Amino acid sequence: MSETVTTGHKWTMIVDLDKCTGCQACVVACHAENNVPTANEDEVVRGRANHWMRIERYWEGEYPHVQARFIPVFCQQCEEAPCEPVCPVYASYHSEQEHLNMQVYNRCIGTRYCGNNCPYRARVFNYHAPHWDAPLEQQLNPDVTVRSAGVMEKCTFCIQRIRRAEEDAKVEGRPLRDGEVVPACVQACPTDALIFGDLNDEESRVARMLPDERQFKLLENLGTQPAVYYLKGGETHVGE
Amino acid sequence: MLESSATQGPYWEQPLPEDEHLRHQMEHLREEHLLFDPRPPAELNKYVLAAMKKTGPRFWLLVLGLGGMVSVFLVTWLLQMIYGIGITGLNRSVMWGPYIANLIYFIGIGHAGTFISAALRMMRMDFRRPIARAAETITLFGLATAGLFPIIHVGRVWKLFYMLPIPNQRGLWPNYRSALFWDMSAITTYIIGSTLFMYVALIPDFAMARDHTSGWRKKLYTALALGWRGSEGEWHRLETVSNLLSFVIVPVMFSVHTGVSWNLSMSLQPGWHSAIFGPFFVVGALYSGVAAVILVMILVRQAMGMGYFIRKEHFNAMGIFLLILTLTWIYFYFAEWITNWYGNLPPEVAIQRQLTGPLAPLFYGMLFCNIIVPLATLWSRRIRTNLKALFVVALIIQVGMYLERILIVAAFLSRNELPFNWVDYVPRLPEILITVGAMSFLVLMYTLFTRVAPIIPVWEVYEGQAVQSPRRIGRAVVPTRTEAH
């Protein structure tokens, strides 16, 4: 556990599993915000559903006493990210300033080593040139690059929104305010299950919420030190 | 002459002794061992050159067939570049598939050639002499074929030069922490080293070919022979360089497949993250590589009429080597498997269930090919020296080792930490065409090479024959070898 990071922003996401209903609004918002291409049915059957953010659904118990559990999984922005050292061209690298995993699309040659090495399988490879069914191609976000076939991509914590907020704050000559940076998934979440903020800002909502007795990190035993905290959901089930 | 005498003729003129018992022993020795069955160098030259220049309709038919397969391969690759990696069966969990398995496999079969040649040279094992070139050639083209696969595999092949440490305006260098970079360096070193090693040994043979050919061949060999005249100093330097390079090649050989295995074992993927992978892969590579050398020896012997050079003694020796490697490989596989099984970690258990469940035919088929068949056959000298039987066994080992590679890449990746991400992998046509095409490329290159370069290192054979001679000690004929080097 490295809670020792104090320099720069420590962008952190909290996922409250008690509040998550598995509605997938965050998934849709992410696609729209980040120009993530949509995969057709054949591709999904082949296991190429390309979401930066996905709601993993697990079943618990034996029929008929089954429960569905949801857990939103996206890039965990690991402090010790396994995807970073394996990239031979530095397309996947660590931002020391913001403590984020960066992916440089221009630099990526598509060895897909990072994808293999991500235990969360949070990385998405562009197996095809990006495609949107009409009229979705009319609503691409001008702030985000459209990635070509053959490169790897993943959740960025909506870095374009972080940059926009930082620039606004700079123009107004003030520090960033908590809640000013809102990633698309957080904005779309109807139950407020996703909370985003700077852990280094003591006044921020995430800093005040942590530590929490329900908190855990995904695959914490691997030592990847994710920046995403999950709050255990005791009663997160449907069908009862 | 069995008695040492300064008046005896050249080494290839050794009349059989008059004593019937000794004569029988001598005849047996000559029949068994190439190096005790000397013929005049001029005769050997003619023998090898004639086989090299012979190209019948069957040869061209083979070249045409293989060329067709290679064209299919190139077209498929072009389509993959245009339409993206999406035309393969890879998915969001199994991001590496047959292309990486092929890389491992082809480096594997290309592995043993130069190693056999260099290691046996270091240990002064003279039986290597006639088979050294055939083995080195499979290294050369095995590595060339393997080298294609990282290029085929990447998503944006036109940006591949980002991996090379070349100066650029941004001052951006490749990532030295990446196992892919280590692997690329090791493979490049091995390609350069083994090509040099092979070329050095080829120079006297090119010079020989230069002196006995005309037309385009004459021009080609004149250039390749680098003005070799065969003076004492030149032979001395050749010997020194060959010995030096053998000592360089052997450690580099170890580094290459260790590097390849580290691509897998340096990751966090369950089943891959294992310290034994380095030596395990080296042994696996030698295993399939030695089997490949045996296949090539049989093919060269039968197709080019090299029965005089490549004899039962060579197949026997290689068969024993293969048996040792079988046992070593089994040991490593067992050690790897039992540690995972006993550890009982959930993701690794998932992989084992996958292998013994839906993929059981492939998994048990692999064990049958790699363990049962070689163990059941190679202990017998009669099978080791029966070319048909040995050919089948070596071929079965190739199948087994290929299955092992494809399982270790694609089947392992399909099971990982979070069960939501368990996606099975099914190959699609482009991958199959490219794999078959690459194999054809290797065979095609080898076939063409046998017609432009002497596939038997003739000078090594007559050097071997010159330094060895049978001597009589009492009532027995004993092989002896001079250390005059």
Q: What is the pLDDT of residues B276-304, one digit of tens each?
A: 999 999 999 999 999 999 999 999 999 88
Checking if the pLDDT of B5 tops 60, the result is no
The string of DSSP codes covering B349-395 is HHHHHHHHTTTHHHHHHHHIIIIIHHHHHTT-HHHHT-HHHHHHHHH
Residues of B in contact with A148 (CB under 8 A): 156
Overall average pLDDT of the A125-154 stretch: 92
Condensed to tens digits (0 to 9), the pLDDT of residues B322-376 reads 999 999 999 999 999 999 999 999 999 999 999 999 999 999 999 999 999 999 9
Contact (CB<8Å) A128/B154: no
State whether B94 and A108 contact (CB < 8 Å).
no
B156–A109 C-beta distance less than 8 A: yes
Higher-pLDDT residue of A96, B364: B364
Which residue, B271, B212, B387, B175, is CA-closest to A111?
B175
Q: How confident is the model at residue B88, as a pLDDT?
A: 92
Spell out which residues of chain B touch residue A111, defining contact as CB-CB under 8 Å. 150, 153-155, 180
Average pLDDT, integer, range B104-110: 91
For each of the domains in chain A, give its residue range(s) and CATH number, in order of start: 11-231 (3.30.70.20)
Amino acid identity of residue A25, one-letter, is: A
Q: Is residue B15 part of a domain?
A: no
Give residue B9's pLDDT: 73
Model's pTM, two decimal places? 0.92
Distance of CA A228 to the CA centre of its chain: 8
Q: Using an 8 Å CB-CB cutoff, list chain A residues near B408.
A: none
In this structure, the number of other CB atoms found within 10 A of the CB of residue B57 comes to 7
Residue of B nearest to A55 (CA): B420
Complete DSSP assignment for B388-408: HHHHHHHHHHHHHHHHHHHII
Q: Is the pLDDT of residue B220 over 90?
A: yes
Contact B420 A116 (CB under 8 A): no
Residue A228 has a pLDDT of: 95
How confident is the model at residue B3, as a pLDDT? 53
**B56 falls within a domain:** yes
Distance from CA of A143 to the nearest CA of B (A): 24
Domain residue limits at B158: 20-481
**pLDDT per position as a tens digit, B27-56:** 888 888 888 888 888 888 888 888 888 888
Residue B60 vs residue A61, higher pLDDT: B60
CA distances in angstroms from A181 to A157, B229, B420, listed in the order given: 10, 78, 30
pLDDT for the residue B467: 85
Sorting pLDDT into bands at 50, 70 and 90, what band is B112? Answer: confident
Q: Is B9 a domain residue? A: no
Instruction: Give residue B4's pLDDT.
Output: 53
Tell me what pLDDT residue B368 has.
95
Average pLDDT, chain A: 89
Cα of B69 to nearest chain A Cα, Å:
26
Return the number of other C-beta atoms located less than 10 Å from residue B474's C-beta.
Answer: 6
The answer to whether the beta carbons of residues B259 and B179 sit under 8 Å apart is yes
Which residues of chain A are within 8 Å of residue B94 when distances are taken between CB atoms? 47
The DSSP bridge pattern shows strands A228-231 and A11-16 to be parallel
CB contact under 8 A, A113 and B263: yes
Q: Is residue B358 part of a domain?
A: yes
B248 in contact with A, Cβ within 8 Å = no
Nearest beta carbon to residue B162 from set A107, A116, A124: A107
Please give the DSSP secondary-structure letter assigned to residue B409.
Answer: I
- Angstrom distance (rounded) from CA A162 to CA A164: 6
**Confidence (pLDDT) at A5:** 53
Specify the pLDDT at position A32: 93
CATH number at residue B266: 1.20.1630.10
In the structure, what pLDDT confidence band is assigned to residue B171 with cuts at 50, 70 and 90?
confident
| Measured distance CA(B64)–CA(B62) in Å, rounded | 5
A119 contacts B416? CB cut-off 8 A: yes
Structure tokens at A44: 């999904």
pLDDT of residue B6 exceeding 80, the answer is no
Q: What residue ranges in B180-323 does DSSP mark as E strands?
A: none
Q: What is the mean pLDDT of residues B182-200?
A: 91
Q: Is B185 on the interface with A (CB under 8 A)?
A: no
Q: What is the number of structural domains in chain B?
A: 1
CB pairs under 8 A between A and B: 138
Phi and psi at residue B344, in whole multiples of 5°?
Answer: 60, 30
Would you state the pLDDT for residue A239?
Answer: 46
Counting beta carbons within 10 angstroms of the beta carbon of residue A141, is it exposed (0 to 12), middle (13 to 18) or buried (19 or more)?
middle
Q: Is residue B8 part of a domain?
A: no
Q: How far is A139 from chain B, CA to nearest CA, in Å?
A: 25
B446 part of a folded domain: yes
Contact at CB, A86 and B179, closer than 8 angstroms = yes
The pLDDT value recorded for residue B27 is 85
* Nearest chain B alpha carbon to A149: B84
Average pLDDT, chain B: 90
**Is residue B12 within 8 Å of residue B38, measured between CB atoms?**
yes
CB contact under 8 A, B180 and A128: no
**pLDDT range class, residue B2, cuts 50, 70, 90:** low
Q: What is the mean pLDDT of residues A38-53?
A: 90
For residues A111-140, average pLDDT: 92
Contact across the interface for B155 and A49, Cβ inside 8 Å: no
Answer whether residue A4 shows pLDDT above 60.
no
Query: Residues B79, B430: contact at Cβ < 8 Å?
Result: yes
Beta carbons within 10 angstroms of residue B482's beta carbon = 9
Which of B85, B93, B154 has its CB closest to that of A127? B85
The 10s digit of each residue's pLDDT in B413-426 is: 999 999 999 999 99
**Does residue B11 form part of some domain?**
no
Percent of chain A with pLDDT over 70: 95
User: For residue B140, which of B298, B258, B254, B249 has the smallest C-alpha distance?
Assistant: B249
On the question of pLDDT at A45 being above 50, the answer is yes
CB nearest to B95's CB, from A57, A116, A120: A116
Burial class (CB in 10 A: 0-12, 13-18, 19+), A198: buried
For the stretch B229-234, contacts whose Cβ atoms lie closer than 8 Å and that sit 24 or more positions apart, written own/partner, are B230/B204
Residue A125 clears pLDDT 50, i.e. is over it: yes
The closest alpha carbon to B10, from B36, B39, B45, belongs to B39
Report how far residue B132's alpha carbon sits from residue B205's, in angstroms, rounded to the nearest whole number. 13
Cβ neighbours for A206, distance < 8 A, ≥ 6 positions apart: A12, A13, A14, A195, A196, A197, A198, A199, A229
The rounded distance, in Å, linking the Cα atoms of B255 and B251 is: 6
Which of chain A's residues have a Cβ under 8 Å away from the Cβ of B419? 58
Of A109, A119, A124, the CB nearest to B417: A119
Using 50, 70 and 90 to split pLDDT, how confident is the model at B306? confident
From chain A, the residues in CB contact with B93 under 8 A are 47, 121
| 3-state SS assignment for residue B218 | helix
Reply yes or no on whether the pLDDT at A17 is more than 60. yes
For the segment A108-113, the average pLDDT, to the nearest whole number, is: 93
Burial of A83 (0-12, 13-18, 19+ CB in 10 A): buried
pLDDT of A238 over the 60 cut: no
* pLDDT of residue A240 exceeding 60: no
Q: Which residues of A touch B (CB under 8 A)?
A: 43, 46-50, 54, 56-58, 73, 82, 85-90, 107-113, 115-117, 119-121, 124-129, 148-152, 218-219, 222
pLDDT over 80 at A149, yes or no: yes
Return the number of other C-beta atoms located less than 10 Å from residue B443's C-beta.
20
Within a 13 Å sphere around the CA of A217, how many CA atoms are in the beta-carbon half?
23
CB A155 within 8 A of CB A110: no
Q: Do A121 and B181 make contact, defined as CB atoms within 8 angstroms?
A: no
Asked if residue B300 belongs to a domain, the reply is yes
